[in-house]
Structures are given as structure tokens and as C-alpha cells.
Structure 1
């Protein structure tokens, strides 16, 4: 749990300002642009800027079966288990890159590796959750 002194630290306040600026940018784009534009969809990839890198976690891009993704590899992790980290966004916003640090933090806390798949943006090859899981399970076994 975060202590009151940590909430008021200069680092936390700077992170809060960054997050506020990001949400302000998104709000301005949505207010001035009718519909979901490519610019708005791509702006969600900036979310990773609001979180810190987990310590002692490395990353590796690799295809698993038919699905490319980013591995989060915490030091001393149990590599016999894999956390499949699919981010929110309805397969339309965000990416494996924008959630890589979050996946790294979760994997480190669990003591395992995680794989964040690159979910193909809508309009290209639209992967459903079930086909993504099927392709990954084939690649991981």
C-alpha cells in the first residue's frame, strides 16, 4: 500500500502531472475531432509514459505461434509459468508496448514471466480473444 508520504513525493507529483497532461490531450483530441481517428487511437500508446520501469525486468519481442508479442522477463522468474497479459482497449487502442511496463510489474510480483501479445488493430487482421488465445496456446505448448 502507498503511504501518505509517498503520495506527496516529488516523483509521485510529477507522475500525476504527466497523467493529467495525457488525459487533457486525449480530451482535446476527442472534443475537436469527430469520431475515433487514427491519431486518437495511436495516442493511447502514450499511456506507458505514465508508469515507471519495473526494476530487474528485461523485455524481448518474439513471435509465439502465429502471434507476436513482448515478453516481460523478471530476474529469477519461474519460466515454467507464463502470465498472458492482454490489455484493455477492445483490440482497438493501446498495444503490447503501451502496457509492457504494467505487465512487467505484474509478472515480477507473481514471480513469473509474462507475454503481452500485439493485438492487431481493428481494420487490419482483427483477432478475436478466442482466436488469440488459441494461437498462443498452440505456440506455448
Structure 2
């Protein structure tokens, strides 16, 4: 499907031009957050979705209920943004479409960001969000957790933390272009670097330093690609072949398979980082990937 996308070449060129501007005049963290929320927050959510804010203690986010959804089953989603930007607003349009494709409720969750709130603040918030959704009456076997990029990092780390705490795992996890190795040591930085118009080694190194704040990148809760994955639930991973982060997904898949986990990896040819987030510019591949993820989520929750 992705090889036939008529929009990918033009989209990549736009990303190259945007990256040049950003590198010539680096924006502040505050400006980057505002721009990202402004761009993606302007994209309307999927039609027929009811959106309800969540403000309960330290838990922040929103509940998205598509028309006709099975309200006994849910997706808990952690947005991306290098652990430094992104919000429920920026990802509402994507999460609502994932929920609609899966036919479930979605919890589009907020978490504290670096550099103001480095590790483990975001992971602690993800754990609290998971406990909150359980408190809403959902059974673990009726939940999928997911996220893209840094949100995929939090999702994988959350699974490890739940396991180590002896808490029930969800029915599965969906990872989109996950950032799983903050040591930045994968071979894809060199092999796919010339093809990636969006993400650079230098940019990720800066985000890694801000998130870790001195903590070791070898810590499996910071770099889940370094972890023993035994005991994790089924996994579905989507990643673009033109991402410098490709090796993160390859290594995580390898470790999951060796641990006996049911894991599915789909590497989309020609695709860039987190392309379903740009479904409005890449409707062929973006919406196809959303439909694929929704179908997997639906199958995992069918019991």
C-alpha cells in the first residue's frame, strides 16, 4: 500500500524544507509545543465522536467515544513528541480515528513533559492513567495500551513496570514508530538516515538528554529495547522503512519473539516517522495504517 501512495514524495520534500527552517532558527520548547498543538489541533476528530475532558486528581486527558463503540473496551493512548511536546489536543484527530477504526472507547492521555519533568514523571503518569481506567470499570483483558514515538516508549515501559509490580497486563499493546532505544545506537541511523526527512540523530540525542536528566539510557524503563520482555502481552508494531528509528522496532520485535511473545511487525516501505499522524496529508497510507491498527485492536479485544 505505502509504495503506491501518490503523496509521499511531495510530503517528504515538505518535511525537508521544514527541517531546514527549524535547524536554521531553532524554536524554543514553548514555541515548538504551541506550533505542534496549533497544527495538529486544527485537524478535526473523526466524525461522530463524543469527547469528554478528564481532570481527576493528577490524571489529565480526555475520553473519546465513537458512535456505536463497544463501551466495555478501550484503548489507552500516549502521544509522541520526544518526551518534550505533544498533548491530547495534538493527537485527538489520530486517537479518535484509531478508536473509530477499532470500535472502542479511547483514553487520550496527558503526561508531564521534559525538561521540566524528566524521567520518571511521564512513566509515573502513564501508570496512574492505567490505574484510573481500571477504576472506571474496565477489565485489563478489555484494554489495549498504545502510543507513537516517545508515547511508544512510555507504552513499552508501562508494560514492563506493570509486570514488575505484579499488576495485570492489558490485552495487548500497539506501537507506532516507537522510540525504544535512547542510547541512539541502532544501525538504521546510518542506513536510513539519508532517507529520513524528519528525525535526526542530533535531535533525538537532545531529547534523550532532556528526558533522562542524567539517568542511564541503558535502564530498560528508559530504553525498553534493552529489556527482558518475558511476560508481556501481544504486540503490534508499525514502523516506516525510511525511519532512523527502524532498528528500535526491529530489536524490540527480536527480543519479544525470543521471549515467546506474540508479536507482529509491519515495516511500511517508503514511510516516514509516525505517518498515520499525518493522515490528512497522506490519506492513502495514513488511513490504511489506522485501519490496520484498528483491526488488530478489535481482534485482540474479541473474546
The verdict on a shared fold, with TM-score over 0.5 as the criterion, is yes
**Matches of 2:92 and 2:82, distance apart in 1:** 17
Given that residues 26 and 43 in structure 1 are in contact (C-alpha distance below 8 angstroms), is that contact kept between their aligned partners in structure 2?
no
**Matches of 2:105 and 2:64, distance apart in 1:** 6
Aligned to 1:96: 88
**Matches of 2:66 and 2:39, distance apart in 1:** 21
Q: Deviations over 1:55-78 (max 9, x none)?
A: 111211113563110111101111
Picking from 9, 14, 28, the partner of 2:21 is 28
Give the Å deviation of 1:98: 0.4
Query: How many residues are treated as equivalent by the alignment?
Result: 128
**Matches of 1:64 and 1:139, distance apart in 2:** 9
- Give the direction of change, closer, same or farther, for the CA distance of 1:134–1:81 in structure 2 (3 Å limit): same
Aligned to 1:73: 65
Picking from 111, 122, 138, the partner of 1:128 is 122
- Give the direction of change, closer, same or farther, for the CA distance of 1:64–1:115 in structure 2 (3 Å limit): farther
**Matches of 1:50 and 1:27, distance apart in 2:** 24
Q: Secondary structure at the match of 2:38?
A: helix
Query: Gapped runs of 5+ residues in structure 1?
Result: none
Given that residues 96 and 119 in structure 1 are in contact (C-alpha distance below 8 angstroms), is that contact kept between their aligned partners in structure 2?
no
**Matches of 2:38 and 2:90, distance apart in 1:** 7
Picking from 86, 99, 103, the partner of 1:107 is 99
Q: Secondary structure at the match of 1:105?
A: helix
TM-score in terms of structure 1 length: 0.70
Aligned to 1:54: 46
Give the Å deviation of 1:124: 3.8
**Matches of 2:16 and 2:52, distance apart in 1:** 29
> Per chain length, whose mean CA-contact separation is higher, i.e. which structure has more relative contact order (CA < 8 Å, sep 6+)?
1
Query: Gapped runs of 5+ residues in structure 2?
Result: 136-303
RMSD: 3.2
- Give the direction of change, closer, same or farther, for the CA distance of 1:66–1:110 in structure 2 (3 Å limit): same
- Give the direction of change, closer, same or farther, for the CA distance of 1:128–1:118 in structure 2 (3 Å limit): closer
